[in-house]
Chain A
Amino acid sequence: MLESEYQEQNRFFLNMGPQHPSTHGVLLIVLEMEGEYVLDPQPVLGFIHRMHEKMGESRPCQGFMPNTARMDYVCALPYNHGYVSLIERKAGIEVPKRAEYIRVITSELNRVASHLLWLGAYLLDLGAFTPILYGFDDREHILDILESITGSRLTYCYYRFGGVYQDIDDKFIEATRAFIKRLRKRYVIYEKLVTKNIIFIKRAENIGIVSPDMALRYGMTGPNLRGSGIAYDVRKNEPYSVYPEFDFEIPVGEQGDCLDRYMVRVQEIEQSLRIIEQALDRLPDGPVRSKVKKNIKLTPGDCNFAVEAARGELSYYLVGDGTSTPYRLKVRVPSYSNLSCLPELGRGILLSDLVSILGSFDLVIPEMDR
């Protein structure tokens, strides 16, 4: 038998998903395999496509608010934030300072919750069962805190044009401060359990290296990009809301492997806590919602607004036509661009490494499919 025939016989297709535990949702990846090696991974999207953009274009702009939380359900508040800020920029609505502070506090809490969930789920992909229990335990506190003011635990619809739905109370502030104290004490557990764990390091170090040029060609953003050493964060680069008033750093990795992406997210948790602390210390008094006309007219012309969601740059692009219904609403979501590098990144690697890469990308499928 010729060698080429032998190779041909050993090639096969493997469907990973759409119900595979490590694709975190309904994502299908068709893998062309040879033995244990992946030759060509091709993601297949659209299993949970709901056409959010069409919904946004067929009702007055207020009606799209609940949709914003149903794209990235793990980190919904930055999606709220981007949309209200877009309409506020378009319609020239002023936002009280206290409302912007509350937005930052709640968005950052949501970011921490998202990173904690990711940490647990990633380690679960790699075969470690314990970290997800710790991660969910901590995340549960954030969900309780956010539930007390937003009324929901996951798909928040808390921000309004010109402010937020309701003011935060002393109980919220106390609980948030107590949570920050608690989470800082837990760092040492995470470090012993995960960061210094030799099995984890072997599964993540030097795996799935994304070079800065590759990141640029695919338009990667968020922690996945920062892992490659590029300090791009919309909160610093294109400051919005009251972020310029806070002192925080942008953690970056060195070579862009799975371990770097892990380290960036772990360090971002601390940076988010710093922002929340500063915001709580300096929380101004005043109203939390300005008076806004019920019928918001979107002036003709286009408008863009970008925010930093937990997974990267979220960009809303809107074209108005003078009515209150957007003529065109485009949502640019981060995971979509982040995952699109997989066919190039996953060529010629072990299947088990592909699982590690997918986990380190922190994908949320409903966000990609929209």
Chain B
Amino acid sequence: MAKETKDYKKDFLHQRFDATETDYDQRGYHLEVVLDVNQVRKFAQTAYELGFYLVFVTGFHVRPDEGHDKKKSGIEVVYQFARYDRQYRIKARVSVPNTLEIPSISDIYQGADWHERETRDLYGVVFDGHPNMKPLLLSEEDPDFHPLLKEEKKLKFLHEVSWSPEAPEVAKGEAEAETGR
């Protein structure tokens, strides 16, 4: 029994967030929101007031597209929110500026505390206003080691890893196949 889905796009567009609906069957979430650094806290507050819970916060390392804003570090922070009462999932992403600092939401969603510390461990993003920005999963002796940053040669452009509706359908069943076992 799938619970009815409500359209939350209006709520977020009303607050001037850049929200687009996505195809749930292909991507596993309903709404994608692209945030500016100074919108992060307002967005979290809106989500909290609408009754969303925080699923996770994580980082994403990518090369910004050519001709794009040169001030961008290439690291994005990805938030996911969902609801307890119905099927609705939101992904929000924000591009981190060169200073590698973005505002913390750990006073709105206390659960973000550990997720933000983990993101600092893995990507080196510093969350401004976080009460305890110490290493969580990784060792305190080497706070400048960020294992999930990509090497230069493995780094892809943003458009290469972005979903596009025209993407060729690659994996569907043709060509030589592997049988039973």
Contacts and interface: CB of A to CB of B under 8 A. Distances in A.
A54 B110 contact: no
Contacts of B136: 45-46
Interface string A277-307: 0000000000101111110111111111110
B87 A237 contact: yes
A165 B173 contact: no
Question: Which has the most chain A C-beta neighbours within 10 Å: B54, B60, B111?
Answer: B111
Nearest 7 A-B pairs (CB), nearest first?
A301-B163, A304-B28, A91-B171, A291-B177, A218-B111, A297-B170, A219-B111
Question: Which has the most chain B C-beta neighbours within 10 Å: A91, A290, A300, A370?
Answer: A300
A293 B177 contact: yes
Interface in A65-83: none
Nearest to A294: B178
Contact of B171 (A289, A297, A327): A297
B160 A321 contact: yes
A367 interface: no
Interface stretch (B9-17, B34-42, B66-74, B78-86): B78-86
Given A216-B53, A296-B171, 7 more contacts: A219-B111, A237-B84, A244-B2, A299-B170, A302-B91, A304-B27, A315-B56
Contacts of A297: 170-171
A340 B118 CA distance: 12
B53 A291 contact: no
A321 B161 CA distance: 5
B176 interface: yes
24 contacts: A46-B138, A54-B148, A93-B171, A93-B173, A165-B181, A219-B55, A219-B109, A220-B111, A237-B3, A237-B86, A239-B1, A244-B1, A290-B173, A299-B168, A300-B160, A302-B27, A303-B26, A306-B55, A313-B82, A315-B80, A317-B58, A321-B161, A322-B170, A332-B56
B55 A313 contact: yes
B161 A301 contact: yes
B130 interface: no
A298 B168 CA distance: 11
Looking at chain B's contact residues, the main secondary structure is loop
A293 B3 CA distance: 35
A317 B78 contact: yes
B63 to A, nearest CB: 12
Contacts of B173: 93-94, 290-293
Nearest to A299: B167
Contacts of B2: 239, 244
A232 B178 CA distance: 38
A1 interface: no
B57 to A, nearest CB: 10
Nearest to A43: B114
B172 interface: yes
Contacts of B137: 45-46, 49, 369-370
